[in-house]
Each structure stands twice: as C-alpha cells, then as structure tokens.
Amino acid sequence: MENNFNKFITGLQHIGIPTNDIDTTVAFYEMLGFRVVFWTVNENVNEKVAFLRMGDITIETYENEKAVLINGALDHIALNVTDIEPVFNLAKEKGFCILDKDIQFLPFWENGVKFFTVVGPNKEKVEFSQYL
C-alpha cells in the first residue's frame, strides 16, 4: 500500500504541553527565547491556552489543572543549538534543573551529537542538542 501521508505532512506543527500553571510555563519558555504568539481560552473545556514560538518551533501549553507532571509517551523536546557549551553555561546561570552533570555525547548522525537535558516546570524534558 502506498504511503500517501507524505503528500500532506510538511513538518512538525506544534508540541503540546499540559500544565497546572500556565504563567510559570510561559515564563520558562520565554527564558529559552520563545515568545508568545497567541493567547486564548478553549471555551469548550475552560482552559487557558498559549502558543509560543521560536524560529519554526511552536509549543502549545494549556492549563487544565489535571497535568500529571510526569514523563509520558512524549519523552523530550530536543532543541537544535549551534554551540552547546555557552548554552550549557547559560542554563546553569539561569538555575535550570539540569539532568546531566556534564555535556553528553552520542555517536549519532555523521559526526555525533553533544547534548544536555533540563526539566521544565511541568516535568517535561527539554534537550539542547548540537550536531557535530
């Protein structure tokens, strides 16, 4: 059977992150350089919703007071960076909860990747990754 999905799918539209505190979540992603591009309320379920964007990455966060704040099917969001060392230092300066003591390496792709991971306010893992 032919795969016709690729005729319609053009890329990642957004990443959805439930939260119990939308203001804290928005502030966290604003510290990373995202900016709010749309605020609304989902009247069907009375949830505050914010869309944040940086470049071609969009995050939708919605406050529903039911967020379980544990890892689930979505393990992490990986943000591509051009230079991992200053990003690691900035994350330490900002007081982010960094899971990795040091910058990590994996032999992925052509020359490997360097990365580290922080925990967001909703227990989501945000990975910063540099292709080498």
Domain range summary for the chain, segments of one domain joined by +: 12-64, 75-132
> What does the pLDDT look like over 70-89, one tens digit per residue?
777 677 898 999 999 999 99
Mean pLDDT of 107-126: 92
Q: What is the mean pLDDT of residues 40-64?
A: 92
Alpha carbon dihedral 53, 56, 57, 59, in 10-degree steps, equals 40
Q: Which fold has domain 75-132?
A: 2,3-Dihydroxybiphenyl 1,2-Dioxygenase; domain 1 (3.10.180)
Contact 65, 57 (CB under 8 A): no
Is the CATH code 3.10.180.10 the one for domain 12-64? Answer: yes
The pTM of this model reads 0.76
Mean pLDDT of the chain: 89
Dig out the tokens for 49 from the structure: 């919703």
